[in-house]
């Protein structure tokens, strides 16, 4: 894993980074002071959500609303407390459900921890 990913540069600090568990994990090697090697099995549902989020956007741009909704629901199942997955679900709902259902999901996303600047410690 690169030093940039571990620093939180790409995703943000603390609760926003899907790789925060690696900040306390022991490395088995470091390559050129920039790539950290870990050994073991790691659950990284917040990273997995990126794949489903990207697929959801693809389906939205292709006007395939039901497929976009299914991908967004998968992303939420992987990371239910993620602002990104909740907002993706809201975006997908706009294509297949009444707008009120999307508003409820967007409101939930706004209330999640990690969205507020107080969590950037």
Whether residues 33 and 82 share a domain: the answer is no
Whether residues 56 and 96 share a domain: the answer is yes
Whether residues 100 and 51 share a domain: the answer is yes
Tell me the helices (H) and strands (E) count for the chain, helix number first: 5, 2
Which range of residues forms the domain containing residue 54? 45-118
d(CA 34, CA 89): 35
Looking up tokens 């976009």 gives 68
Contact (CB, 8 A) for 96 and 69? yes
Compute the half-sphere exposure of residue 41: CA atoms within 13 Å on the CB side of its CA.
0
What's the confidence (pLDDT) of residue 114?
59
What's the confidence (pLDDT) of residue 19?
83
Give the residue, 73 or 119, on which the prediction is more confident.
Answer: 73
What's the confidence (pLDDT) of residue 13?
63
* pLDDT-derived band at 12, boundaries 50, 70, 90: low
> pTM for the whole thing?
0.63
* pLDDT-derived band at 97, boundaries 50, 70, 90: confident
């Amino acid at each position: 894993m690169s030093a940039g990913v571990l620093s939180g540069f790409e995703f943000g600090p603390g609760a926003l980074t899907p790789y925060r568990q690696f900040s306390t994990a022991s490395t088995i090697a470091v390559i050129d002071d920039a790539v950290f090697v870990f050994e073991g099995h790691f659950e990284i549902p917040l990273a997995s959500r990126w794949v489903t989020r990207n697929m959801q956007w693809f389906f939205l741009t292709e006007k395939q609303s039901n497929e976009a909704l299914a991908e967004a629901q998968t992303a939420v199942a992987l990371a239910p407390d993620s602002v990104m997955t909740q907002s993706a679900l809201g975006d997908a709902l706009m294509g297949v459900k009444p707008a009120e259902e999307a508003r409820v999901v967007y409101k939930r996303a706004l209330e999640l921890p990690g969205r507020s600047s107080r969590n950037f410690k």
